[in-house]
Amino acid sequence: ETGVTQTPRHLVMGMTNKKSLKCEQHLGHNAMYWYKQSAKKPLELMFVYNFKEQTENNSVPSRFSPECPNSSHLFLHLHTLQPEDSALYLCASSQEAGTGFSEQYFGPGTRLTVT
């Protein structure tokens, strides 16, 4: 619907599992972002990649590990998560980060439940 796709759309995992979230953008953008959205909290920026280089890590715990192999793909590797990590994880892209801030295009999100 917006040129940014995310898989899976829903994920249930135990605290000892390892899983990965995938994001792909078909918009020719150079910046990609991971956000966490928890109930009744503002959207929290987690990571920013600009031209494949990580430019922002917003004090995210090491159990979340991002990977950006190219400007079109972004992954979020998850391991030994906690129940409080249950949330909607949103990926976004924009033309470029840090240039007066253009609009961001969001994927549909992955609803993660940690049991």
Partner 1 sequence: SQQGEEDPQALSIQEGENATMNCSYKTSINNLQWYRQNSGRGLVHLILIRSNEREKHSGRLRVTLDTSKKSSSLLITASRAADTASYFCATDANTDKLIFGTGTRLQVFP
Binding partner 1 (rule: CB under 8 A), the pick from 16, 40, 69, 83 is 40
3 lines the binding site for partner 1 (CB under 8 A): no
Binding partner 1 (rule: CB under 8 A), the pick from 55, 57, 82, 115 is 55
How many other CB atoms are there within 10 angstroms of residue 11's CB atom?
Answer: 18
Burial classification of residue 44, based on how many CB atoms lie within 10 Å of its CB (0-12 exposed, 13-18 middle, 19 or more buried): middle
Binding partner 1 (rule: CB under 8 A), the pick from 62, 69, 83, 100 is 100
> Strands 73-79, 18-25: parallel, antiparallel or unpaired by DSSP?
antiparallel
- Contact positions toward partner 1, by CB under 8 A? 2, 4, 6, 40-43, 45, 48, 55-56, 58, 88, 90, 92, 97-98, 100-109, 111
